[in-house]
Each structure stands twice: as structure tokens, then as C-alpha cells.
Amino acid sequence: MFITREEIQTHLYDYQLDQITDEDDNLVISAIDTAVAEVKSYLANRYDVAAIFAATGSDRSALIVEHVKVCAVYHLLLLCNVDAIYERYEKAYERTIAYLKQVADGLLSPDLPYLQTDSGNPAGTLQLKSNPKFKHSF
């Protein structure tokens, strides 16, 4: 698992998690899995998501961990809003999605491993082309 229930406690207190999930850790695991899948979907075209999400401990990208936490908390708050400011988390979620869209579009480039082709070169959608030759006749 990429992040744990204990790591989500930086965004929600333990009693809030217990009240939202009715102390069912399967709901927390489901929210984390959903958040990981969501973040992966934005990164998959450009970055090596297998390597990114296989990392553990301090080897993980702190930025990706933070975005996964925000998404997981948002998905948990969809179940129930217990003593948490829903609008605050909704805005954080929207910022996270906007950031991930910019990464997916290539406008931002976090320090993450790129996808590699079989030859070891970075995979991507970059194509170099030119316009057809143009001749002037006078």
C-alpha cells in the first residue's frame, strides 16, 4: 500500500476517520486505493507509475504522497462530513486535480521517473515534423 491510515492523519484526526468510516479500515483502504488509481491515471502516459508507486518510506515522492492523501481524504469525506470543513478539502482536491492535469499535459514536470522504451530512452509523444517545402515563383 502506497500510504497508510496513519499517514492520512496529517489531514484528518483519528476520531474523524473513525466516525466517517464507522471504524471500518476497509473503507480507508478503499479510499486510498481509489486515490492511488486516480493519481496514476494522470501520470501514466509520461511517468513510470510502477516505479513511483512501488517506492516505500522516504524513497516516495513527497509531492505525490501529498496528492494521494488529499484525494483519499476527499473520497472519505464523500461518505460523511464529520467535524471537517468540506469546502476546504473540496478546494484542496480541485487544486490537486488541476496540478495533475498540468503534469499530464506536460506543463509541469515533477521529479519523477519517466517511462522508458525498450531501448532505454524516455517514452513520450514528442514528434518532430516540418511543413512541406514551399517554393516562390517570381
- As a whole number of angstroms, the distance between CA 28 and CA 1 comes to 11
Q: What is the pLDDT along the chain (138 residues), one digit of tens a residue?
A: 899 999 998 998 889 899 988 999 999 999 999 999 999 999 998 899 999 999 999 999 999 999 999 999 999 998 887 766 788 889 999 999 999 999 988 888 888 888 877 777 666 655 567 888 878 776
Domain residues for the domain of 54 are 5-105
- As a whole number of angstroms, the distance between CA 72 and CA 75 comes to 5
Number of structural domains in the chain = 1
pTM of the model: 0.79
The answer to whether residue 123 sits within a structural domain is no
The answer to whether residue 116 sits within a structural domain is no
- As a whole number of angstroms, the distance between CA 101 and CA 107 comes to 9
The answer to whether residue 38 sits within a structural domain is yes
The answer to whether residue 135 sits within a structural domain is no
DSSP-assigned beta bridge partners for residue 114: 47
